[in-house]
């Protein structure tokens, strides 16, 4: 089998930040790296789950909502994937800053009732806000 694109990235040289990892046709894949790969510090599952709910809601309500293909967690728990149609980093970075500024003001978790979510008890709003604030300060410095 072919090695998939995201395994071709040298994770030893990858740090906290926002990067376009690859482009296929009009779909741009961005790595929102919250944690240093193999750094020993990973996002907690409940925290990731809550960030997924909040940021997916923000992006899908943004001015680029029609171009959002996917937002979801990385299995290695160091960050998230954001897939956008025809949107380059010059637009995605300010958009992401705007989305995070909005996201850290949430006081409830969208879609977190039993009928809306597959693991509705596993959420951590406080932890999600803390990690998003940390990430926001990392990408804006
Ligand atoms: Zn859920």
- Among 57, 71, 35, CA closest to 106: 57
77-91 per-position pLDDT tens digit: 999 999 999 999 999
On whether the pTM is more than 0.85, the answer is yes
Spacing, Cα 140 to ligand 1 middle (Å): 28
Pair 115, 72: CB distance under 8 Å = no
d(CA 62, CA 85): 14
d(CA 117, ligand 1 centre) in Å: 4
Please state, for a pLDDT cut of 70, what percent of the chain lies above it: 100
What is the rounded average pLDDT of the residues 8-16? 78
Q: How many angstroms separate the alpha carbon of residue 10 from the centre of ligand 1?
A: 30
Q: What is the mean pLDDT of residues 20-41?
A: 95
pLDDT reported for residue 141: 81
Strand partners, 42: none
**80 CA from centroid of ligand 1 (Å):** 15
More confident residue, 11 or 69: 69
Question: How far away, in angstroms, is 141 Cα from ligand 1 center?
Answer: 31
Mean pLDDT of the chain: 95
Question: Helix, strand or coil for residue 62?
Answer: coil
For residues 31 and 20, give the distance between their C-alpha atoms in angstroms, rounded to a whole number.
Answer: 6
Mean pLDDT of 25-40: 96
- Contact present, 29 and 23 (Cβ < 8 Å): yes
* Domain spanning 5-135: CATH 1.10.3720.10: no
What number is the average pLDDT over the span 21-49? 96
CB 83 within 8 A of CB 27: yes
* Separation of CA 124 and ligand 1 centre (Å): 11
What's the gap in Å between 52 CA and the centre of ligand 1?
8
Q: What is the pLDDT of residues 60-75, one digit of tens each?
A: 999 999 999 999 999 9
**84 close to 30: Cβ distance less than 8 angstroms:** yes
Among 68, 141, 57, 130, which Cα is nearest to 99's?
Answer: 57
**Eight-state DSSP code of residue 139:** H
When pLDDT is cut at 50, 70 and 90, the band that residue 92 belongs to is: very high
| Gyration radius from the chain CA atoms | 15
Tens of pLDDT, residue by residue over 97-128, are 999 999 999 999 999 999 999 999 999 999 99
Every domain of the chain and the residues it spans: 5-135
């Amino acid at each position: 089998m072919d090695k998939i694109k995201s395994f071709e990235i040298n994770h030893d040289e990858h740090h906290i930040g926002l990067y376009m990892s690859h482009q296929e046709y009009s779909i741009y894949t961005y790595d929102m790296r919250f944690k240093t790969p193999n750094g020993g510090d990973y996002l907690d599952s409940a925290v990731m789950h809550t960030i997924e709910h909040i940021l997916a809601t923000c992006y899908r309500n943004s001015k680029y909502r029609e171009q959002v293909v996917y937002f979801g967690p990385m299995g290695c728990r160091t960050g998230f994937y954001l897939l956008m149609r025809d949107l380059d980093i010059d637009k995605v970075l300010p958009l992401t800053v705007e989305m995070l500024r909005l996201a850290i003001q949430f006081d409830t978790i969208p879609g977190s009732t039993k009928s809306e979510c597959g693991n509705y008890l596993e959420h951590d709003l406080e932890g999600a806000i803390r990690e998003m604030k940390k990430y926001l300060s990392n990408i804006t410095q």
